[in-house]
Structure 1
Amino acid sequence: MHLPGGRGAEHVRDTLLHAFVKDLSIYSAEYVAYVAAGLNDRPRKILGRRTPAGLFTELVATLE
Structure 2
Amino acid sequence: MDIAEMSIVMNQMAVQSAVSTSIMKMAMNSGVETAATQIGDMMNNSNMAVDISRGANIDATV
Larger Cα-atom Rg: 2
Higher relative contact order by CA 8 Å / sep ≥ 6: 1 or 2?
Answer: 1
